Structure 1
Amino acid sequence: MGSSSSPNGEMKMADHSRWSELPNHITEMIVNRLGFPDIIRFRAVCRSWRSVYTEARRHRYHPMVLYEYNLQKGTFGFYSFEDKKVYWINVRDNYQGKHCVGSCESWLVLSSPYLRNYFLLNPFTGARVDCPYVNRPDVDVFTKVILLHSPIDPTTKQTNYYCTVVALNSFSTELNICRLGDLRWNVLKLDHEHFLGCLVCFKDKIYSLSTNGELWIISLSGPMLRATVQKVLVQINLTVGLDFQKECYLVESEENLLMVIRIKRKSTKKTVRFVIYKLVQNPGEYKWIREYNLPDDRALFLGRLCSRIVSTTEYGGLQGNSIYFTDDKLIHKARVSEYPETGIYNIRSGSIAPCLPFNLYPFDLPHIWITPSVRNRDAIDLAEFWTHWNGTMMVEQISIN
C-alpha cells in the first residue's frame, strides 16, 4: 500500500480533488438526472456541489405512497416506485399532528392534536407553514384540503402569501378559505346539500360535487377572497346494484376535468372496477362523457386526499393506462383495524394487481400520494442514511434536522 507521498498516491489525491472542480454545467447535468434521495447525497459531497444543488433547476420526482406514519412522533414511511425501496424519514422538530387532511405535491396538511389549527408540513425538508386558527366550536374537522399554488415562493424562498388554502367540511356543508398569513378563515356556506369529499382546482376555479349530482364551480377574487358560485346539475346514469357502493373523485387531467367512479363490493369492501367520465362544456350545457381508457403514456394516482395524472414517459417504471389507488377510508369513522386496500387497476383489461410488494399490518390512517421536493427555504442541512434489508426489499432511514 503506497504512501501519500508516492507518485501514485499524489495522482489518486489529485484525481479525488478534481470532483469538486467539475464545471457547473456538468454538475448541473448530474443533478437533473438524480432521483430521490440521491439528490440529498449529492448535496452532501462538497461545498461546490451543494451550491450547484441550490441553484440548479429541479425536475420533479416520482410520486411516492406515504403508507405508514406516526404524526405524534414525526416519523413517515414512504414507498418509492422508482427504485422499489422504502424510505423512513424522521422529522426531529416538534411538528406533532393528529390527522392528515390533505396532500399537495410535497406538502401535507395536518391538524394539531390539541388546538383547532392546521399547518402545512413538507416532511422532506421539515418546512412548516401555519394556517389561521379555527375559532369556531361548530367546526368538527376538515375532511379535504387543497392548496392553490405552492406555500413557498420559488424566488424569495419565503412563505407565499398568495397561496390559497381551501378546506371542505363535508359534515357542516361549507368551504373554509384563507390565504397564508390571514388572521381568519372565510366561510362559504354550501346550502344544505352534502358533498362527496370531492374537491379540486381546475383552470383556477374550484370544483366540487354534491350527493344530488350538482357540480359546484367556485371562482375566488379580490384580497378578501370573494367567492362567486355557479351550480350546474349534470345528469349521469350509473347503476351499480345493491351489492355495491360508489366513491367519487374529481381529477385534473391537463386540459380536462375527470370524474372517476370507484365501485366497491359492500360485503368485502374491496374495489372491483373504476369508471371514468370527462366533463364536456357546450354553450349553456355541461355533460359527463364516458372515457374508456387513459392515454398509454399516462397513469392516474387516485386517493381521497390527493389525486393526479402523471406521465409514464417522464416517470419511468410506471404502468400506462392504469390507476394506482389507495384506500379511501375517512379518518372520522369508527376506527376498525383492517388491511388498507392498495392496488394497480389496468383500465384496458380490468385486472387489479398489488400496488406494494409487501403485506401491511392493520393500519387506521389513510394512505397518501405525495411527490418529494427538497428545494424550499428550509433545505436539509444533514441527511444520515442507514440501509438494511427488511425481508425482500431495501429500507433506508433518513433523519431530518
Structure 2
Amino acid sequence: MESGVQSNISDWTRLPEDLLVAVFGELEIPDLLRSAAVCTSWRSAYRIFRRLRLPSPKHSPCLLYSSEACGPDAAMLYCPSTGATFHIPMREPGLRLRSLSPIGSGHGWLVVADEISNLHLINPLTGCHAALPPITTFPSVEGSLDDQGNLIYTFSGKSHEPYRLPAVESRDMYERAVLSCSPSAGSACIVLLMHEPFGELSFARVGDQRWTQIPADDSTGIQPSDAVYSTADGLFYVVRSDGSMHTLDLNGPNPVTTTIMPEAAMNSEWADKYVYVVQTPWGDLLQAWRFRDYSEHADDSNYIDPPVELNMTELQLYKVDVHGQMLVKVDSVGDHALFLGYNSSMCLPINDFPGLKPDCAYVTDDSYDYVNLCKFFKRDIGMWSIAKQTMHSLASTSPPRDPWLNWPAPIWIVPSLL
C-alpha cells in the first residue's frame, strides 16, 4: 500500500521542458526567479525561457532599495501591489548598490552614477550592464589628479568661472535620466540626461562614445524638470519648473526642439515645487506639481545631517491642453495610481494590479540636492492620497528611520527580464 501511494506522487522535476517554458511565461517575476533554483531541469527550462526572450505578465512597480540585512552586493524589491519583498543579487562585478547613485529608471533598467561619476545602465534582475559615455566626454568637463593623486574634475563654461570637484562629488551634477526604450534594444535606446551646472540637456544612445549636448535656448536651457518619451510619435516631452513644455526630436542628424506650452501663470511658488510630466493610458498628458517644505525634527543621535526634513505637503494635477495652450486643473485620476520619483513617471490602472490603491500617488524622494547632501536622512516616501492630500506609509515596509530610507535613494522600478 505504501509503495502504491509513492508511485502516485507526481515528480515535478520530470515535467516536459516545453511545458515548463510555457508555465514560466505565466509566472510573476519573484516566482519566476525562484523557479530556476528548484532543480537542474527547471534551471535548464528557465535558461531557455530567458534565451527566447519570452514575455512574462505585467508587473507592478516595485521599490528597489538597499538595507543592512541584504549586504553590500544585493538589493531588495518591495511590491506595494502584493505586499511581497524579495532579495536580488547585484551581479555586475564592481557595481554595488551602496556605492551607486540612481538617477533614473525605465523598462526594468536603472541609470546609476558610480563613485567616479560615470553613468551606467543596469538591469538589477538579470545583471545585464551597459556603460554610458564617461563624464569627461561632456564638452565642459576635464579630469585630472590633485597633489594627493585623487581624481578631480574641472567644470568650465562660457557663463561661469571654472571650478573643481572631487570625482565622487561630481555625480551631484546629475538631476535625472529618462530612457526611450529598454537598453536591451541597443542603439535604439536613447538616454536623455538632465544635469547641472545650469540645467542642461544631453543625450547618448547605447554604444555612443560621447555625450551630445543639446544647444541651450529659451526652450531647453532653463532648468528642465522632467521628461517622458512617447512611443506614439517618437518624441521626448520635456517640462520645466514653470510649467512650460517642449517636444524634443532626436531622430534626425540634429536635435529639434519645439515649444508646445507656454509658462503657466496660476502659481508663483516655483521654488517649493517639482513638476513631473505623466502619460496617461487614455492618451492625455498630465503635469503633477509636487510641493514640499522643510521642517525640523527632534535631535537624534542616529542622524548625521542637520535636524531638518523635507516633506511633501501638496500634489496638484493639471491636464495639458496643447490646443488651448493652457493647463486644466484635475482633481482625480480615478481608478488609476501614479508613481513619481526618479523613475519615468507612470499612471497605471489599478484593475491590472488589484493591490494598488485608487486615486493615489506612490512617491519616493527625488530632491537631488537634499538626497545628495543629506544622505543619512529620512526619505520622503509613501502613498499620497490625492483626494485627502495626505501621506500614508507603505504597508509591510521597515520603519521610516531604517537604513533603506537613506542611501542610495530608493527608486521605483518595473521588474523586467528583457
- Category of TM-score, reference length = shorter chain: 0.7 to 0.9
Residue 145 of structure 2: aligned partner: none
What is aligned with 2:414? 371
SS class of match (1:198): strand
Indicate the larger mover: 69-78 or 198-207. 69-78
Bigger helix fraction: 2
Corresponding residue number in structure 1 for 2:240: 210
Shift in Å, 1:164: 1.0
In structure 1, the residue matched to 2:104 is 102
Alpha-carbon offset, residue 196 of structure 1: 4.6
Q: 1:240 and 1:316 mapped to 2: Cα distance? A: 38
Q: Distance in 1 between matches of 2:353 and 2:49?
A: 21
Deviation per CA, 1:323-352: give whole Å up to 9, x if none: 111122315752263211222122233343
Instruction: Supply the distance in 1 between the matched residues of 2:287 and 2:223 (Cα, whole angstroms).
Output: 14
In structure 2, which of residues 35, 38, 46 is the aligned counterpart of residue 42 of structure 1? 35
Alpha-carbon distance in 2 for matches of 1:179, 1:145: 13
Whether 2:357 is the aligned partner of 1:314: answer no
Deviation (angstroms), 1:183? 1.8
Q: Please give the root-mean-square deviation of Cα atoms over the aligned residues, in Å.
A: 3.0
TM-score of the two chains, using structure 1 as the length reference:
0.78
Distance (whole Å) between structure 2 residues aligned to residue 267 and residue 40 of structure 1: 42
**Map of 2:55 onto structure 1:** 57
Tell whether the 8 Å contact from 1:343 to 1:353 is kept in structure 2 after alignment.
yes
Contact 1:147 1:165 in 2 (8 A): yes
Point out where structure 1 has 5 or more consecutive residues left out of the alignment: 154-159, 377-401
- Between the aligned partners of 1:262 and 1:188, the Cα distance in structure 2 is 27
Note closer, same or farther for the CA distance 1:84–1:180 as it changes in structure 2 (3 Å cut).
same
Task: Looking at secondary structure, tell me which structure has more strand per residue.
Answer: 1
Query: Could you tell me whether the CA contact under 8 Å between 2:194 and 2:224 is conserved in 1?
Result: no
In structure 1, what is the Cα distance between the partners aligned to 2:261 and 2:193?
Answer: 23
Q: Is 2:126 the partner of 1:128?
A: no
| Mapping 1:103-252, distance limit 5 Å | 103-114=105-116, 116-135=117-136, 136=138, 137=141, 138=155, 140=170, 141-153=173-185, 160-191=186-217, 193-202=221-230, 203-222=233-252, 224=253, 226-232=254-260, 234-239=262-267, 245-252=272-279
Q: Distance in 2 between matches of 1:57 and 1:336?
A: 37
Note if contact 1:178-1:184 (Cα within 8 Å) is conserved in structure 2.
yes
Aligned partner of residue 322 in structure 2, secondary structure = strand
Per the alignment, do residues 210 and 290 of structure 1 end up closer, same or farther by CA in structure 2, a change over 3 Å counting?
same
Instruction: Report Cα offsets for 1:60-79 as digits up to 9, x if no partner.
Output: 22211123369994321221
Are the structure 2 counterparts of residues 95 and 235 from structure 1 closer, same or farther at C-alpha, using a change threshold of 3 Å? closer
**1:17/1:359 CA distance change after superposition, 3 Å:** closer
Aligned to 1:31: 24
1:14-72 superposed Cα distances (whole Å, 9 cap, x missing partner): x3168513873x862x4344223101223444247436734443122221112336999
Contact 1:60 1:373 (8 Å CA) reproduced? no
Give the Cα–Cα distance (whole angstroms) in 2 for the partners of residues 211 and 241 of structure 1.
10
Do 1:220 and 1:228's aligned partners in 2 also have CA atoms closer than 8 Å? yes
* Equivalent residues in 2 for 1:345-384, closer than 5 Å: 345-357=384-396, 358-361=398-401, 363-374=406-417, 376=418
Match for residue 15 of structure 2? Answer: 20
8 Å contact from structure 2 (residues 105, 342) kept in 1 = no
Q: Aligned with 2:264: secondary structure?
A: coil
CA distance in 2, matches of 1:195, 1:91: 33
Q: Decide whether the 8 Å contact of 2:229 with 2:236 is kept in 1.
A: yes
| C-alpha contact 1:335 1:364 (8 A) present in aligned 2 | no
In structure 2, the CA distance between the partners of 1:351 and 1:210, relative to structure 1 (3 Å rule), is: closer
Poorly superposed stretches of 4+, deviation over 6 Å: none
Question: 1:81 matched to which residue of 2?
Answer: 80
Residue 209 of structure 2: SS of its match in structure 1?
A: coil
Contact 2:260 / 2:322 at 8 angstroms: preserved in 1? no
1:301 Cα deviation after fit: 0.8
Residue 251 to residue 171, structure 1, CA distance change in 2 (3 Å): farther
Cα distance change of structure 1 residues 195 and 299 upon mapping to structure 2, 3 Å threshold: same
Question: Shift in Å at residue 366 of structure 1?
Answer: 2.3
Partner AA of 1:275 in structure 2 = Q
C-alpha separation between the residues in 2 aligned to 1:205 and 1:23?
40
Task: Return closer, same or farther for 1:172/1:72 CA change in 2, 3 Å cut-off.
Answer: farther
Matched length: 355
Match of 1:329 among 367, 370, 377: 367
Counterpart CA distance in 2 for 1:337 and 1:23 is: 49
* C-alpha separation in 1, matches of 2:416 and 2:392: 28
Question: Aligned with 2:46: secondary structure?
Answer: helix
Point out where structure 2 has 5 or more consecutive residues left out of the alignment: 142-154, 157-169, 297-309
Whichever residue aligns with residue 126 of structure 2, its letter is T
